[in-house]
């Protein structure tokens, strides 16, 4: 399986602050067109390819035409400015470019561009988006711009945007008193009796107040006004004849369900907006605060009614949410037209005016390779026929289904009628779906049930008096004006004749709503329960917000404390329900999160405002748990687009678009203002694992030279576009931040294995696992991928991810590939999530994708990531992960591709980048400022250096360890063209001449080594990469101003190979011992000249061969490290994973720098760790006279084990019992000593004895083993 749409190309973003009027020239560097494939399965990889024009920094706003756009983000000092373009220079498109250009007739005659003012952290920025292609109006030739001038000039005519359009209250009504939460799902009159209120716990029901907001879903745009805290609703008290609220009395109040009726003025049509997040609305009851707010009685208005009405337009709506076709976006469908192609829907309009037409509006969707139709009928009447066009079913990137709105009119001779929808399939694979049916019909204003809502739309700009006649009333009938649903008004009834009444109303401009009801059989709300007092509205400035599911509150508080202690951040921890209670009247709504965050953002200190938002809890595209239960821990924002896999998205950016002009669904949605991250955890255990990972990442003890390593991985195929992009990124980092050690794993540089089923790169799989387990700062992947792993060759699978055990060396993963971290599908856990949730290792964070993405904007985003990753802010502090992602996204254009990238991780966490520098002073006692000699093969080299602060001064108090990594020259690698693509050349500098440790004393260090014989003998620059760790501080550095090459003709002779001591796990291991399935190879080496790790010489690598499998040699050059201050001694540590249970043999071959070799063999037994196992039980010495010690191998390292040793005579008499608890970090037990005395302290006689060992885990698992010993006395 393969999910893709990857990444490449690049947006061009430059940030400037424009003050005075000035002209700036911009150049566009056009390159050859690019070609990319989009496929879902391997056998589809040639059926859906795209070619497109390309220039350095191109942005692609529309994946349909693939026109490249120029994008620039410009910081300006005022929002009252505009941009002008002039002096444009062109050249003609090449024939190749013309041949792939789509829609040539749509290309404008003049360069088109858009410049928009947006805000980032309350500062104005100008976004320029320019299409650099035109059709020359004189020649008709299509041309491309190669340069142009931009000018920012004042424009006082521009209307300034408000930085904040919402003023939040400073206190919540929920801060004091006793509160009861209730829920309801229908619009109408609700009734609570006196006894109901007593049962709820209210001691004084006569003082009850109802609070809440009735406004449907919150608006997406920050520019729209929305509800804030709870407001008090008017209540009607029925007190009976005694006028006292007591037994048999009740309260009435009007409340709305979660769905919102809307009126389409242009088409005079009422429709329903169904709530995406909830099937209930919520209200709150209290008797402790406020004054009673009772419903006012309204007398008839003075004046003459201009109209008398006895009918109104009612509407009915059918909509069932059963299926989200892409499992993405807001759109859900109900009835599925496939096996069943015909459905009937029953409707009733009581007291229907049958002479008037009924209007129908229905949303339908179809997926078919040829056009299909829906027939909609009522009885014999055909209401409408809706044709739906075909879609490209062979393309994974095409629209999944087409949705159309069908409209028509019909009449009915009965109040009850049936709507029939029939789907005409054009093939067996055709499918259809119903979204909704909405009907509008004229009916009499007559009570047929106990409640009737009717409405009137006043199109005038002024109010007017209308009389409504209402039929089927009785003596209890009341009519309320509910145009303001929170403050209904009780209207005076007139013309009461039998079962009819009239009301005279002053209707206001716009929509007016009323409800007529009888006081029997009213709705009763559902009790939710008591809620604790809260006051989020009183929260002022915070640096960080953590929104956590209640199950993870303790972990959230622990993370908050970590950031308070380590970073000095002020943090507030809140739960979703707390936010909903104050910002959406208790109803779940993702915009409530945004509004709460925005409130804090709009309450800055004098120097700063809110910076970070962390969600703790998994989310789902299924907000209401329609397809499963208990799956939504923290709500997500799903895009409105739900049918196109390339434009439908889930994004946490929605919660960080906080300025007044921001709207996530707009074409220019805005700039993200805060760093946002998410832990997609589903249990307190997973949440705690994330806490432990953060602690491990911050632990100074876990810092090491792995922090200096980055690994770039590039997929094959697609004309090498992924490898080239990966190499661009690697080269940028290598030339800009030279202290890093860069490894490159480009797939086509390795042999590909093919089978009848698939293709694979087993060596790449192994190398990736090795890179992660040994520790890298950043894992950067460019290419195809999906929820189950990376590349169609599965160079990274879920099994690989679960095998990682790098808990003390956690990596950051940058994966520019499709859907690798699709966290919002509850049906499975994506590979990206598993990287984060692996309790034994994996990643500390991922900047990764949740949907299909495109190569060109991916590259831009990835490049912008490195523009900020290792830089510092204006205060001189390293950027946090949230800062880096925020800045990279804002610099990456306006299209929605960037919304598909999310940060799975803590946005307030910083990479553990060293703060100080390491400088090289001399080589072989010659100052590097004057050194001109060459490092030749077999020459002994001594290097001196020092640690310095940011001002370049020696830190004389610094004591620690320096890790030098000396590298041979860069070499050129040519890829193999495995998939038929042209081989590609790239440079890499990863041949290690020396890797060791040196003592830093008083800020100075030195180390020596012998240059291996196997260096490349040409002359070019080498490189030293440094990392150092001291007492709570560390440093990094590099030196590359020296030449390596040639040979030392006067070198001393050496013909003796290295001494090799081979173990598993530690030096207590003996050949034939037991390990678990993930053992560590541990090798101790020494040689008078040093160990060869270069890898240039054929057959001179350090290699391990497992079970005589010579076709899969394990190269261990990178895993050797010399001992501190001693290049002649060192160690290899290499982690195996998931070895098969049973006997194994390992052969190790090592070379010294003179190319003398040595070999050593080791046998070991793998016992799976699921069941406790002990082997190789023995005592030493045996026989003994005065003292012996017991040893055994086991498969439970780092666990407490209870050990009971009983010693018997050959006749079975127990003479000695030894009981102890061991906890060894290896697979061999520590020595358990015995002095040869019995339980009474007496000496035991000479002879043969039997001993039994019994080992028990803390879980009660037990195993026994018996051996013999001999006492000589």
The CATH number given to whatever domain includes residue 779 is: 3.40.50.1460
Higher pLDDT, 37 or 471: 471
Give the tokens for residue 815: 């994966």
What's the distance, CA 321 to chain centroid?
26
Tell me the C-alpha distance between 478 and 520, whole Å.
11
- List the Cα angle 530/535/538 in 5-degree steps: 175
Domain that holds residue 547: 536-601+603-656
Q: Do both 866 and 1014 map to the same domain?
A: no
Residue 471: other Cβ atoms inside 10 A: 17
1079 to each of 768, 878, 1064, 1073, how far by Cα in Å? 18, 37, 7, 11
Which range, of 5-9, 792-796, 970-974, 1122-1126, averages the lowest pLDDT? 5-9
pLDDT tops 80 at residue 812: yes
pLDDT tops 70 at residue 45: no
For 83-91, what is the mean pLDDT? 92
Please name the residues in contact with 427: beta carbons below 8 A apart, sequence gap of 6 or more.
Answer: 368, 369, 370
pLDDT tops 60 at residue 20: no
For 448-473, what is the mean pLDDT? 95
Instruction: Say what the pTM is.
Output: 0.88
pLDDT band at 355 (very low <50, low <70, confident <90, very high): very high
Which range, of 290-294, 764-768, 988-992, 1191-1195, averages the lowest pLDDT? 1191-1195
Would you put residue 756 in left (φ > 0), alpha (ψ -120 to 50) or beta?
Answer: alpha
pLDDT at 21: 60
The answer to whether the beta carbons of residues 863 and 57 sit under 8 Å apart is no
The pLDDT > 90 percentage for the chain reads 73
Tell me the C-alpha distance between 1090 and 992, whole Å.
13
pLDDT band at 160 (very low <50, low <70, confident <90, very high): low
* Residue 1090 belongs to domain with CATH number: 2.60.40.650
Which residues sit opposite 232 in a β-bridge?
211
**Which of 66, 69, 61 shows the shortest CA–CA distance to 51?**
66
pLDDT by residue (tens digit) across 1066-1089? Answer: 888 889 888 888 889 999 999 999
The answer to whether the beta carbons of residues 558 and 552 sit under 8 Å apart is no
DSSP 59: B
Helix (H, G, I), strand (E, B) or coil at 447: coil
Residue at a domain's end among 635, 656, 677: 656
pLDDT by residue (tens digit) across 243-276? Answer: 999 999 999 999 999 999 999 999 999 999 999 9
Q: Do both 923 and 1004 map to the same domain?
A: yes
pLDDT tops 60 at residue 165: no
Question: Which ranges of 493-620 would DSSP assign to H, the alpha helix?
Answer: 553-567, 576-583, 590-601
The answer to whether the beta carbons of residues 472 and 446 sit under 8 Å apart is yes
* Residue 1192 belongs to domain with CATH number: 2.60.40.4070
* Residue 944 belongs to domain with CATH number: 2.60.40.10
Tell me the C-alpha distance between 164 and 594, whole Å.
14
pLDDT at 416: 97
For 1182-1189, what is the mean pLDDT? 92
Q: Do both 1014 and 1135 map to the same domain?
A: no
Q: Do both 375 and 507 map to the same domain?
A: no
Higher pLDDT, 66 or 130: 130
Q: Do both 9 and 147 map to the same domain?
A: yes
pLDDT at 1157: 95
In b/e form, how buried is each residue of 597-614, taking b as 16+ CB within 10 angstroms? bbbbbbeeeeeebbbbbb
**Which of 1068, 1074, 971, 949 shows the shortest CA–CA distance to 1021?**
971
Give the tokens for residue 352: 């229907």
pLDDT at 1255: 93
Higher pLDDT, 848 or 39: 848
Specify if 192 maps to a domain: yes
Would you put residue 625 in left (φ > 0), alpha (ψ -120 to 50) or beta?
Answer: left
For 310-326, what is the mean pLDDT? 97
pLDDT at 44: 47
pLDDT band at 1092 (very low <50, low <70, confident <90, very high): very high
pLDDT at 1174: 86
pLDDT by residue (tens digit) across 829-869? Answer: 999 999 999 999 999 999 999 998 877 788 889 999 999 99
Q: Do both 93 and 210 map to the same domain?
A: no
Q: What's phi and psi for 466, nearest 5 deg?
A: -125, 145
Please name the residues in contact with 905: beta carbons below 8 A apart, sequence gap of 6 or more.
Answer: 677, 678, 679, 812, 836, 843, 844, 845, 846, 881
Torsion, CA 8, CA 33, CA 67, CA 791, rounded to 10: -30
What's the distance, CA 884 to chain centroid?
14
Q: Do both 935 and 1043 map to the same domain?
A: yes
Residue at a domain's end among 389, 415, 444: 444
Looking up tokens 């070619």 gives 51
pLDDT tops 80 at residue 1221: yes
The pLDDT > 70 percentage for the chain reads 96
Specify if 903 maps to a domain: no
Which residues sit opposite 922 in a β-bridge?
927, 944
For 726-731, what is the mean pLDDT? 96
pLDDT by residue (tens digit) across 359-416? Answer: 999 999 999 999 999 999 999 999 999 999 999 988 878 899 999 999 999 999 999 9
Q: Do both 16 and 143 map to the same domain?
A: yes
pLDDT band at 1169 (very low <50, low <70, confident <90, very high): low
pLDDT tops 60 at residue 39: no
* Residue 542 belongs to domain with CATH number: 3.40.50
Q: Do both 827 and 861 map to the same domain?
A: no
Asked if residue 391 has a cis previous peptide bond (ω within 30° of 0), the answer is no
Q: Do both 359 and 420 map to the same domain?
A: yes
Tell me the C-alpha distance between 319 and 301, whole Å.
40
Specify if 664 maps to a domain: no
pLDDT at 116: 86
pLDDT band at 968 (very low <50, low <70, confident <90, very high): very high
Number of H helices, E strands in the chain: 12, 83
Q: Do both 1027 and 1094 map to the same domain?
A: no
pLDDT tops 80 at residue 903: yes
pLDDT by residue (tens digit) across 928-960? Answer: 988 778 999 999 999 999 999 999 999 999 999
For 14-18, what is the mean pLDDT? 44
pLDDT by residue (tens digit) across 67-78? Answer: 888 988 888 888
Looking up tokens 């169904």 gives 274
Residue at a domain's end among 416, 444, 472: 444
Helix or strand holding residue 831 (H, E): helix 831-837
DSSP 94: P
Specify if 902 maps to a domain: no
Average pLDDT, the chain: 91
Q: What's phi and psi for 694, nearest 5 deg?
A: -60, -45
Please name the residues in contact with 833: beta carbons below 8 A apart, sequence gap of 6 or more.
Answer: 680, 821, 823, 904
pLDDT at 2: 35
Helix or strand holding residue 308 (H, E): strand 307-309
CA within 13 Å, CB half, 751: 5
For 702-710, what is the mean pLDDT? 96
Sign for the pseudo-dihedral over CA of 781, 784, 786, 792: negative
Looking up tokens 């500390």 gives 844
pLDDT at 12: 38
Reported in sequence order, the residue ranges of 95-230 that DSSP labels E, i.e. its strands, are 112-120, 123-131, 133-135, 142-154, 179-184, 188-193, 209-212
Tell me the C-alpha distance between 635 and 658, whole Å.
18
* Residue 438 belongs to domain with CATH number: 2.60.120.260
pLDDT tops 60 at residue 617: yes
For 797-810, what is the mean pLDDT? 94
Specify if 588 maps to a domain: yes
Residue 178: other Cβ atoms inside 10 A: 16
pLDDT at 159: 58
Tell me the C-alpha distance between 461 and 483, whole Å.
16
**Which of 383, 344, 336 shows the shortest CA–CA distance to 364?**
336
pLDDT at 65: 78
- How, if at all, do strands 209-212 and 133-135 pair? unpaired
Specify if 679 maps to a domain: no
Give the tokens for residue 193: 């009796």
Q: Do both 835 and 877 map to the same domain?
A: no
pLDDT by residue (tens digit) across 425-439? Answer: 999 999 999 999 999
Question: Which ranges of 440-503 would DSSP assign to H, the alpha helix?
Answer: none
pLDDT at 1230: 85
Instruction: Report how many domains make up the chain.
Output: 8
Which residues sit opposite 307 in a β-bridge?
466
Residue 330: other Cβ atoms inside 10 A: 17
pLDDT at 15: 42
pLDDT by residue (tens digit) across 534-562? Answer: 999 999 999 999 999 999 999 999 999 99
pLDDT at 41: 45
For 207-216, what is the mean pLDDT? 91
Please name the residues in contact with 908: beta carbons below 8 A apart, sequence gap of 6 or more.
Answer: 543, 544, 563, 567, 569, 611, 612, 614, 675, 880, 881, 882
Looking up tokens 């909903």 gives 580
- Angle separating helix axes 855-868 and 881-890, nearest 10 degrees: 130
């Amino acid at each position: 399986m393969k999910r893709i749409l990857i990444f490449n190309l690049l947006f061009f973003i430059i940030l400037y602050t424009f003050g005075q009027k000035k002209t700036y020239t911009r150049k566009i560097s056009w390159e050859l067109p690019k070609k990319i494939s989009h496929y879902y399965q391997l056998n589809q990889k040639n059926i859906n390819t795209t070619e497109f024009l390309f220039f350095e920094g191109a942005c692609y706003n529309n994946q349909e035409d693939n026109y490249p756009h120029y994008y620039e983000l410009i910081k300006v000092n005022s929002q009252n400015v505009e941009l002008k373009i002039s002096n444009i220079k062109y050249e003609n498109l090449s024939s190749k470019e013309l041949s792939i250009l789509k829609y040539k007739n749509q290309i404008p005659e003049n360069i088109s561009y858009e410049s928009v003012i947006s805000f980032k952290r309350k500062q104005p920025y100008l976004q320029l988006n320019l299409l650099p292609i035109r059709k020359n109006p004189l020649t008709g030739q299509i041309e491309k711009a190669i340069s142009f001038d931009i000018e920012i000039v004042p424009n006082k005519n521009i209307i300034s945007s408000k930085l904040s359009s919402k003023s939040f209250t400073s206190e919540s009504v929920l801060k004091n008193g006793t509160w009861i939460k209730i829920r309801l799902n229908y619009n109408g009159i609700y009734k609570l009796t006196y006894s109901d209120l007593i049962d709820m716990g209210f001691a004084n029901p006569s003082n009850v107040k109802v609070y809440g907001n009735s406004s449907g879903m919150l608006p997406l745009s920050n520019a729209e006004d929305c509800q804030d805290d709870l407001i008090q609703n008017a209540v009607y008290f029925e007190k009976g004849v005694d006028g006292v609220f007591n037994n048999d009395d009740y309260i009435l109040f009007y409340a709305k369900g979660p769905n919102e009726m809307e009126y389409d003025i242009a088409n005079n049509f009422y429709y329903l907006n169904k709530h995406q997040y909830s099937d209930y609305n919520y209200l709150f009851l209290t008797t402790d605060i406020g004054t009673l707010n009772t419903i006012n009685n309204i007398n008839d208005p003075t004046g003459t009614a201009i109209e008398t009405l006895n009918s109104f337009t009612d509407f009915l709506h059918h909509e069932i949410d059963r299926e989200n076709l892409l499992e993405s976006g807001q759109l859900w469908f109900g009835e599925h037209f496939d096996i069943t192609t015909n459905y009937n829907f029953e409707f009733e309009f009581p007291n229907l005016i049958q002479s008037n037409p009924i209007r129908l509006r229905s949303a339908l969707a179809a997926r078919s390779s040829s056009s299909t139709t829906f027939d909609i009928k009522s009885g014999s009447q055909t209401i409408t026929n809706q044709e739906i066009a075909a879609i490209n079913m062979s393309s994974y990137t095409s629209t999944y289904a087409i949705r159309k709105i069908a409209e028509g009119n019909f009449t009915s001779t009965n109040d009850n009628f049936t709507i029939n929808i029939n789907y005409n399939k054009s093939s067996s694979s055709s499918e259809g779906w119903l979204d909704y049916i909405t009907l509008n019909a004229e009916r009499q204003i007559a009570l047929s049930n106990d409640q009737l809502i009717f409405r009137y739309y006043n199109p005038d700009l002024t109010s007017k008096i209308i009389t409504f006649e209402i039929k089927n009333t009785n003596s209890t009938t009341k009519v309320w004006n509910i145009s303001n649903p929170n403050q209904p008004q009780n209207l005076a009834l007139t013309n009461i004749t039998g079962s009819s009444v009239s009301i005279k109303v002053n209707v206001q401009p716009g929509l007016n709503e009323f409800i007529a009801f009888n006081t029997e059989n009213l709705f009763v709300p559902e009790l939710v329960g008591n809620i604790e007092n809260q006051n989020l509205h009183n929260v002022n400035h915070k640096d960080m917000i953590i929104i956590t599911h209640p199950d993870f509150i303790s972990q959230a508080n622990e993370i908050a404390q970590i950031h308070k202690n380590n970073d000095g951040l002020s943090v507030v921890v809140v739960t979703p329900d707390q936010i909903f209670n104050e910002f959406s009247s208790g109803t779940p709504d993702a915009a409530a999160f945004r509004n709460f965050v925005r409130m804090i953002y709009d309450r800055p200190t004098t120097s700063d405002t809110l910076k970070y938002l962390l969600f703790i809890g998994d989310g789902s595209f299924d907000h209401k748990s329609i397809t499963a239960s208990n799956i939504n821990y923290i709500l997500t924002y799903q895009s409105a687009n739900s049918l196109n896999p390339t434009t439908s998205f889930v994004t946490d950016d929605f919660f960080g678009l906080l300025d007044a002009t921001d709207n996530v669904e707009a074409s220019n949605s805005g700039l993200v203002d805060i760093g946002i991250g998410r832990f997609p955890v589903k249990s307190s255990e997973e949440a705690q694992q994330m806490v432990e990972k953060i602690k491990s990442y911050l632990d100074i003890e876990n810092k090491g030279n792995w922090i200096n390593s980055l690994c770039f991985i590039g997929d094959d195929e697609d004309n090498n576009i992924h490898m080239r992009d990966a190499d661009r990124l690697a080269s940028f980092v290598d030339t800009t931040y030279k202290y890093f050690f860069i490894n490159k794993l480009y797939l086509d540089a390795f042999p590909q294995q093919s089978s009848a089923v698939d293709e694979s790169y087993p060596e790449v799989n192994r190398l990736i696992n090795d890179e992660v387990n040994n520790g890298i700062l950043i894992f950067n992947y460019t290419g195809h991928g999906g929820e189950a792993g990376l590349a169609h060759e599965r160079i990274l699978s879920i099994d690989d991810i679960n095998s990682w055990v790098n808990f003390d060396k956690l990596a950051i993963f940058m994966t520019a590939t499709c859907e690798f971290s699709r966290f919002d599908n509850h049906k499975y856990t994506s590979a990206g999530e598993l990287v984060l949730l692996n309790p034994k290792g994996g990643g500390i964070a991922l900047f990764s994708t949740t949907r299909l993405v495109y190569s060109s904007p991916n590259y831009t985003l990835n490049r912008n990531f490195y523009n900020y990753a290792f830089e510092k802010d204006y205060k001189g502090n390293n950027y946090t992960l949230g800062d880096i992602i925020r800045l990279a996204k804002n610099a990456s254009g306006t299209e929605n591709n960037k919304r598909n990238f999310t940060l799975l991780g803590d946005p307030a966490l910083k990479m553990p980048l060293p703060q100080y520098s390491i400088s090289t002073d001399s080589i072989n006692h010659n100052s590097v400022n004057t050194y001109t000699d060459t490092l030749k093969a077999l020459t002994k080299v001594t290097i001196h250096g020092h640690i310095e602060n940011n001002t370049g001064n020696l830190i004389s108090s610094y004591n620690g360890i320096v890790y030098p990594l000396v590298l041979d020259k860069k070499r050129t690698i040519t890829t193999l063209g495995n998939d038929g693509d042209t081989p590609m050349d790239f440079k890499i500098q990863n041949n290690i001449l020396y890797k060791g440790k040196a003592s830093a004393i008083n800020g100075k260090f030195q180390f020596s080594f012998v240059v291996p014989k196997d260096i490349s003998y040409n002359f070019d620059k080498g490189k030293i990469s440094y990392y150092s760790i001291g007492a709570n501080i560390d440093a990094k550095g590099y030196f590359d101003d020296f030449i390596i090459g040639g040979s030392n003709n006067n070198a001393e002779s050496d013909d003796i190979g290295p001494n090799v001591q081979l173990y598993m796990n530690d030096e207590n291991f003996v050949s034939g011992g037991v390990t678990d399935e993930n053992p560590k190879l541990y090798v101790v080496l020494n040689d008078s000249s040093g160990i060869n790790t270069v890898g240039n010489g054929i057959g001179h690598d350090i290699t391990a061969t497992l079970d005589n499998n010579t076709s899969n040699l394990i190269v261990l050059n990178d895993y050797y490290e010399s001992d501190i201050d001693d290049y002649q001694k060192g160690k290899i540590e290499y982690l195996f994973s998931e070895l098969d249970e049973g006997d194994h043999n390992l052969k190790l071959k090592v070379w010294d720098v003179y190319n003398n070799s040595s070999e050593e063999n080791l046998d070991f037994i793998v016992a799976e760790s699921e069941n406790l196992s002990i082997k190789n039980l023995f005592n030493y010495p045996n026989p003994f006279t005065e003292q012996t010690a017991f040893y055994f191998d086991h498969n439970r390292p780092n666990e407490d084990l209870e050990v009971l040793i009983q010693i018997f005579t050959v006749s079975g008499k127990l003479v000695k019992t030894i009981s102890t608890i061991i906890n060894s970090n290896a697979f061999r037990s520590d020595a358990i000593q015995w002095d040869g005395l019995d339980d009474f302290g007496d000496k035991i006689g000479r002879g043969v004895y039997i001993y039994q060992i019994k080992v028990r885990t803390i879980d009660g698992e037990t195993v026994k083993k018996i051996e013999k010993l001999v006492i000589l006395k």
